[in-house]
Each structure stands twice: as C-alpha cells, then as structure tokens.
Amino acid sequence: MKSLKFKTVVIGGGPSGANAAKYLASSNEDVLLIEKDLKFDKPCGGGLFLKAFDEFDIPKTVITKVVNTIDIVSPKLKKVSVDISKHPLAIVHRQEFDKTLRDLAVEAGAKLIKAKVVNISTKNEGVRILARQLDGTEITINAKYAIVADGVNSSARVQLLGEHPNRVLTYYANLKDTTSSSCQFWFGDDISPKHYAWIFPHYNGVNIGLVANNKHKMKEFYNNFFKKTQIGGTIPKPKGYFIPHWKRMTLYKDNVFYVGDSASLVLPFTYEGIYYALKSGKLAAQAIIKNNPSEYEKSWNSLYLKKFKFLRTLQTIFLQNNWWIDRMVRLYQHPKFQTAVIEYWSGSREPASLFKTLYKIVRSLIKYS
Ligand SMILES: Cc1cc2nc3c(=O)[nH]c(=O)nc-3n(C[C@H](O)[C@H](O)[C@H](O)COP(=O)(O)OP(=O)(O)OC[C@H]3O[C@@H](n4cnc5c(N)ncnc54)[C@H](O)[C@@H]3O)c2cc1C
C-alpha cells in the first residue's frame, strides 16, 4: 500500500473540487486532487452565466453555445420570452468543461490522481483518506485538510456526517436531432410540481429534463412533459440523477470543508449549481490559504445566504400550484419584473429584504392581474 502526505486533499474533480485545487496550487499550496472518473460526463444542462468565465479565469474556448433568450412556459402553454443579452448564459459540455478545470489545476501545480476515495476519517487535527486505483492499488493519504467535492451522492459526507446532501430527483435525456436557441423553463403541476422542467441547448442537440420530488411519478411527469413539448417521435428513455435541493447544511467541521453539491449549494428555484460549485471551491481554498477555516462558512453566508433564502421563498410562493405559476408568468410579461428577476438571478442586483419582497410581489399581483 502506498502512503502519501499532503496539506490538503480534494475529493472529486468536478467544478467545485477542481477549482479549489486550482486556487490552492496557484498560491503554492501543497494539494492533491483525487477524481475517480476522468471521463465523467456529469448529467447537467451545462448552463452558467458567461461572466463566470472571467471571474474564475476559465478559457471561453470551452463554451459550446451562448444563449441570449430564456422562454418561460406556463401550465396552459403561454410562452413569455425574456431577453437576457445583458447577462447571457454559456452552455458547456460537462466532460470537456470539467477536464479543462482539472487541467488548469494541474498547470497551477496540483497533483491529480485517478482513484476512488473509499474511506475518510478525521483524527488528531487531521484527515486520513483511503483511495483505490483501478488496478486495485490502495493509497493512504494523511492531510491537514480535506475538501469534500464528491457531488450530490457524496459518500464522504455520509461517512463523516451521516447524511446525504439534501436532494430531489431529476429525469433527463439528450436529444441529438432537436435544436433550441433559447433556454426554456416549463412549469406546471402535471410535469414538475413545485419545480420546473427544461429544454436547454446542448453541445449536441438539446438536453431536456425535469425536477420533481415524487419518485413514483417521475415517468408520468416525464411523458407528460415530452408530449407537451411537441418535439415528436419516440419518447427517449430518460435517465435519473439527484440534484441538490438547498437547505442550510454543515460547510466545515473537523478540518473538512464541504463544497458544491456535497453541501447542497445549488440555488433554489433555478437549480443553478455550477457557479456555486466553482465559487464555494474558491472560498474554501482561500480559507485554507489564510489558515483560517472558519472564514469559509462566514464568507459563504455573507455572500449568499440572503440570496438563497430569497430564491427559496420565491420558489415556495410562485411554484406552489398552477394558479400561482400563472400569476408569475403574467408578471414576466412586464419588462421591469423581467429585469429585476434576471438581475437578482445573475447576481448583479442584491435581493431586497424578505418583507419588502413579499410586499412588492403582492403589489405587483394586484397591479398586473
Ligand atoms: C440533470 C441535471 C441538470 C443540471 N443542469 C444544470 C445547469 O444547466 N446549470 C447549472 O449551473 N447546474 C446544473 N445542474 C447542477 C450541476 O450539475 C451541479 O451543481 C454541479 O455539477 C456541482 O459540481 P460539484 O463539483 O459540486 O459536483 P460534481 O460535478 O458532481 O463533481 C463531483 C466529482 O466527484 C467525483 N467523485 C465522486 N465520488 C468520488 C470518490 N469517491 N472518489 C473520487 N472522486 C469522486 C465524480 O466523478 C465527479 O467528477 C444540473 C444537475 C442535474 C442533475
């Protein structure tokens, strides 16, 4: 059995883990990145705001499409198109995107190994990890810190804290022969109660899917959705994968940082996770660089807690049933509402206080209904 020693071990080489490793290595930190599948194509629509590429210094060559319009589709199939050209969305192919992020980490000086972490424990102000390579070779790694970045099914979180990230189910499929120039968000109790279904341009065709919290009815919702889209042809076989449903969870404990999906850091309502994975990875790295672990949770909360609570409140109100969704789609017809939502979502406007928001929603409903 091989034995290694690093200051920091990052478990999982998706956006959160790879970005954490990049920022650590860029500051000459001693960091090991462990990824079990270097060809993993994470089930994902692959949409994130274009501005993230500048913020995290990611080459734009990895972008497959840029989207300037989103379509909101009501339960009664009323469609409202929203111009997002001031805050465009980029679409990436996750296999390529994740590889690029890992390459950046390695270029910055991180060590990358392909292995599956099978055990993690904390003791004596440190972390001990057991990883297994494809040929069966086992490696023990002792480190001061671990960054858990192994996604929504995080086995490290289960081992250390006895809980999964909070999550709901998605059903999705990639359709090669269909195109869409917009990102479409479809709402309705028959396709995705309390959440939404989507059609996103993909690197190769479109990605369609839905979020729901009822594993027995996923197939029915999916079939309903496919029929509603009128894409036509045979209904493609869907695949299932969990997506985090944000709730406030432990972000740091006993020398272990939890980032991205492993901490359920996906924005409520929109289910945007890539940006928050990148950002949480960076914030954890910065806390380690400063040797001040508690700074991670503090900076995350000061940047995003209000926004996450705000979006969760909007989701609870507007997606509770078709009546409310209809009101929301009507509100979307008004340019001021569109601008406010896109600015809140993209992070270019601070959310108002909860009380103020509820007041504004009620006032808008009276004004525009
Ligand atoms: C169907 C679907 C569509 C989505 N669409 C979007 C979208 O359009 N836009 C958006 O912003 N978000 C989207 N998301 C959410 C987004 O995919 C995630 O939030 C994001 O991938 C989280 O990044 P991460 O690095 O935390 O985890 P992941 O991307 O899941 O990366 C975890 C990595 O850890 C590795 N790993 C796991 N276990 C181990 C182990 N034991 N040892 C070593 N390595 C391990 C995995 O192989 C993987 O590479 C979508 C999610 C789903 C399910």
> What does the pLDDT average to over 337-344?
86
Superfamily of the domain at 47-92+168-241: D-Amino Acid Oxidase, subunit A, domain 2 (3.30.9.10)
Tokens matching residue 367: 């004004």
List the domain boundaries for the chain. Answer: 2-42+94-165+245-291, 47-92+168-241, 307-368
pLDDT of residue 344: 84
Exposure of 205 by Cβ count < 10 A (0-12 exposed, 13-18 middle, 19+ buried)?
middle
Q: Is the pLDDT of residue 6 over 80?
A: yes
Ligand 1 atom 15: the closest Cα is on which residue?
273
Closest approach atom of ligand 1 to CA 34: 43
Separation of CA 324 and ligand 1 centre (Å): 31
Q: How far apart are the first and last CA of the chain?
A: 68
DSSP 177-230: T---SSEEEE--TTT-TTS-EEEEEETTEEEEEEEES-TTTHHHHHHHHHHHHT
What pLDDT is stored for residue 369 in this prediction? 57
- Identity (one letter) of the amino acid at 205? G
> Which pLDDT tens digit goes with each residue over 166-202?
999 999 999 998 999 999 999 999 999 999 999 999 9
Q: Do domains 2-42+94-165+245-291 and 47-92+168-241 have the same CATH topology?
A: no
In Å, what is the CA distance from 37 to each residue of 115, 250, 280?
8, 26, 22
User: Do residues 257 and 148 make contact, with C-beta atoms less than 8 angstroms apart?
Assistant: yes
Task: Say how many C-beta atoms besides its own lie within 10 A of residue 121's C-beta.
Answer: 12
Structure tokens belonging to residue 93: 């192919």
What pLDDT, in 10s, does the model give residues 24-77? 999 999 999 999 999 999 999 999 999 999 999 999 999 999 999 999 999 999
Residue whose CA lies nearest to ligand 1 atom number 50: 44
Residue range 312-328: mean pLDDT, rounded: 94
The pairing of beta strand 69-73 with beta strand 183-186: parallel
The fold of the 2-42+94-165+245-291 domain, in CATH, is FAD/NAD(P)-binding domain (3.50.50)
What is the structure's pLDDT at 358? Answer: 64
Kindly give the number of the ligand 1 atom that is closest to the alpha carbon of 170. Answer: 1
HSE (CB half, 13 Å, CA atoms) of 104? 26
Q: Hey, which residues does 170 pair with through a beta bridge?
A: 211, 241
Q: Which protein residues touch ligand 1 with a CB less than 6 Å away?
A: 11-17, 34-37, 40, 42-48, 116-117, 149-151, 155, 170, 172, 200, 209, 241, 243, 260-261, 266, 271-275, 277
**Tens-place pLDDT, residues 267-283:** 999 999 999 999 999 99
